[in-house]
Amino acid sequence: MVLVNFNIKIQQKDFSISELEEISKLMRAYAITAISYAKSGHTGGVMSIIDIAAVLYFKVAKHDPANPGWEDRDRIFWSSGHKAPALYAALGLAGYFDINDIVKLRRFGSGFEGHPNRFNLPGIEASSGSLGQGLGLSVGSAINAKIEKKDYRVFCILGDGELNEGSVWEAAMSASHYRLDNLTAIIDRNGLQIDGKTSDVMEIEPLKEKWISFGWDAIECDGHDIKDLINAFKPENKKNSRPSVIIANTVKGKSISFAENVCAYHGIAPKGGIEGAESLDQALSDIGCSIFSEDKVKNLNKIVKEYQEVTDKKIESLVPKYSRNYFWNSSDMMKVNMVANRAGFGKGLEKAGADPRVVALGADITDSIKISDFYINNPERKARFFSMGIAEQNMTTVAAGLAKEGKIPFIGSYGVFITGRNWDQLRTTVCYNNYNVKIVDAHGGISVGPDGATHQALEDISNLYYLPNMQIIVPADSIEAEKATLALKEINGPVSIRLAREATPLISDVESVFEYGKANVIRYRKEMPDFKDAFEIITSGDYKSENEDISIIGCGPIIVEAMRASYILKEEFGIETRVINMHTLKPMDKDAIIKAVNETGKIITVEEHQVGGFGNIVAGIVMENKNFAVPAILKMIGIKDRFGESGQPWELMKVFGLTAEFIVKDAISILQIKKT
């Protein structure tokens, strides 16, 4: 059966039920192969949604691969953007692009991002990935059809855990109010989300009755029975000009023996890799797709390997070169251990939790951001842990209520969600009232890598810094994160701690100085076997000028790149550098900045953030306080007014010009300007 390059409107091909079942198998095979080669992705939800996607794209919806912008096409919005491999499999098999390219999933520059990007692939109606927003988008599209008297239908794919978000129900009310009988929501009701069963995380039943009470027609069906799905999508199910919802009961990880109904497979690839137990081989055997022969898999593997080789060369060509390779652990000297600084936060929270006033609230990524360390080794604390599901706004106001009554609540999520979706709640309910809420701004910067732009927090420092009463800590490594967590627990009022997701170099130890509100000065001394032993760390108030040539100021894990830059500058050019670790971002150590500008005259700010979020704060302090008898130059290094994209974290650091090699290049340029 040939499924690609139809070059006709898909609805003109009337696939039989048996053909659709074969399409589903093929979609599953391509999707799990892509996830396996990416070594990351959402196996569970991708497998549970595929039969629904097969029926939508190959039986129900009007669309045209030869003309993706066809005005009369039906619109399909994937509010559950993390199930992107299922979308890519449907579009590829329909002929929008070469289906074999799906194995480039989550690789830099491939277009097959961890969450859909409408600018990179044809057939994607909207970029998505932040849960709870797709239904409102669909309502707008459906209203437009009414205004323009178009007969296209609008479909919106939702996850059941996603229904925790209040914005879904706001959209549901508006759809009913405007009698949008051209709108159909599809709920992938697999019963699991990241933190566990939906019934345990945040109960959503009685689901059908809830939608009916919101003014919708509700239809339940078996989400893996093709015939049942086709019947559920029939237009005659609509009544009285009401929007309709299909509650499709599914199995998370469907057709893959080791992933079915296993909560852990929400967001990971097969644990066994390509071969062995819980592997791609086992998954393909379970799916039983005859097209996926051993030669087919080898050919797809070749595509991935060749693509990555070309990508590696392109990325490395961007990086400035010096007399030798100074990158992490590239030689026998200056070795580092890599640990995620969220791990240090978890240790700190476990210790802070001994205080009975401390409570913790989870937003469905509890273990990922280490809030679960609050109770894992202390099960009696479970009574002080509250799951809020995927509902950051509600979590924030609930935490404020707890703080009002004397508790010390810790709340957290991905940085983009915990500082963005609930910004008004943070501003008005938490900061305006000066409530003692601790915000865990996790997975900050580009450290989430393959997840792509929707999950990369590049604006969170700016979001929080200008909120009155808000205080901010951005630790450089895991050890500093533990110290910072214990410090913020003692601070009265709103405090945020920004954490990276991926492992980053350890540059301190338990004896290293850490004083809240006081920056650390870091000075390179000499090359050592252990990277951190090559540096001296001194509290800014105790530091005496050594007549350095330049200062580099930053916060968070990017400090390690500033330190490595100071190492390269000394070894390659004999240049002395003052590195300032501004771990307390607010209140900022202004004295450390002014001393640096007055004593070195040349400043570089570095941030894993939109450029200027941190740099402009430093620049403002400089302009307001510097000795104007001393000429000074300031350069900002950061992400230059763009969204992130999928790729490995270290790839993205190089692509965005954030590694030490780029800092050194700019430092040399500044020094030449100063000399002139």
pLDDT of residue 7: 40
pLDDT of residue 625: 85
Average pLDDT rounded to a whole number, residues 23-42: 97
Average pLDDT rounded to a whole number, residues 477-499: 97
Average pLDDT rounded to a whole number, residues 615-627: 91
Instruction: Give the length of the chain.
Output: 676
pLDDT over 90 percentage in the chain: 94
3-state secondary structure of 605: strand
pLDDT confidence of 401, banded at 50, 70, 90? very high
pLDDT of residue 6: 39
pLDDT confidence of 627, banded at 50, 70, 90? confident
pLDDT over 70 percentage in the chain: 97
Domains of the chain: 10-287 (3.40.50.970), 338-505 (3.40.50.970), 520-675 (3.40.50.920)
Dihedral angle computed from the Cα positions of residues 308, 501, 535 and 588, in that order, rounded to the nearest 10 degrees: 130
pLDDT of residue 239: 66
Q: Which amino acid is at 302?
A: K
d(CA 66, CA 10): 10
Q: Does the structure show a pLDDT above 80 at 65?
A: yes
Which is nearest to 389 in space by CA: 197, 141, 175, 128? 197
pLDDT confidence of 5, banded at 50, 70, 90? very low
3-state secondary structure of 530: strand
Taking only the tens place, the pLDDT of each residue in 632-645 is 899 999 999 999 99
pTM, rounded to two decimals: 0.95
Residue with tokens 């706001």: 170
- Structure tokens of 309? 């080789």
Cα Rg of the chain (Å, integer): 26
Q: Does the structure show a pLDDT above 50 at 354?
A: yes
Neighbour-count burial for 594-619, b at 16+ CB within 10 Å, e otherwise: bbbbbbbbbbbbbbbbbbbbbbebbb
pLDDT of residue 10: 55
Q: Which amino acid is at 40?
A: S
- Structure tokens of 433? 């009232």
Peptide bond just before 494 cis, omega within 30 deg? no
Taking only the tens place, the pLDDT of each residue in 522-568 is 999 999 999 999 999 999 999 999 999 999 999 999 999 999 999 99
Q: Does the structure show a pLDDT above 70 at 670?
A: yes
pLDDT confidence of 3, banded at 50, 70, 90? very low
d(CA 371, CA 439): 11
3-state secondary structure of 18: helix
d(CA 483, CA 597): 28
pLDDT confidence of 629, banded at 50, 70, 90? confident
Residue with tokens 């992107």: 84
Average pLDDT rounded to a whole number, residues 301-317: 98
pLDDT of residue 641: 96
pLDDT of residue 675: 66
pLDDT of residue 11: 54
Type and span of the H or E element at 188: strand 183-189
Q: Does the structure show a pLDDT above 50 at 141?
A: yes
Taking only the tens place, the pLDDT of each residue in 564-589 is 999 999 999 999 999 999 999 999 99
pLDDT of residue 406: 98
pLDDT of residue 2: 41
Q: Is the dihedral of CA 196, 197, 199, 200 positive or negative?
A: negative
DSSP H helices in 470-549: 478-490
CB 191 within 8 A of CB 199: yes
Contacts of 164 (CB under 8 A, 6+ apart): 132, 201, 202, 204, 364, 388, 389, 390, 391
φ, ψ for residue 515, nearest 5 deg: -125, 120
Average pLDDT rounded to a whole number, residues 211-227: 97
- Structure tokens of 79? 């509010």
d(CA 27, CA 51): 9
Q: Does the structure show a pLDDT above 60 at 489?
A: yes
d(CA 494, CA 419): 13
Max intra-chain CA distance, the chain: 82
629 vs 115, residue with greater confidence:
115
CA 584 to chain centroid, in Å, comes to 24
Q: Does the structure show a pLDDT above 80 at 237?
A: no
In the chain, % helix, strand, coil (3-state, to 5) comes to 45, 15, 40
Contacts of 328 (CB under 8 A, 6+ apart): 336, 338, 505, 564
pLDDT of residue 676: 61
249 vs 676, residue with greater confidence:
249
pLDDT confidence of 8, banded at 50, 70, 90? very low
pLDDT of residue 674: 64
Which is nearest to 89 in space by CA: 71, 118, 112? 112
- Structure tokens of 195? 């933190």
Average pLDDT rounded to a whole number, residues 84-103: 97
Which is nearest to 564 in space by CA: 396, 324, 404, 364? 324
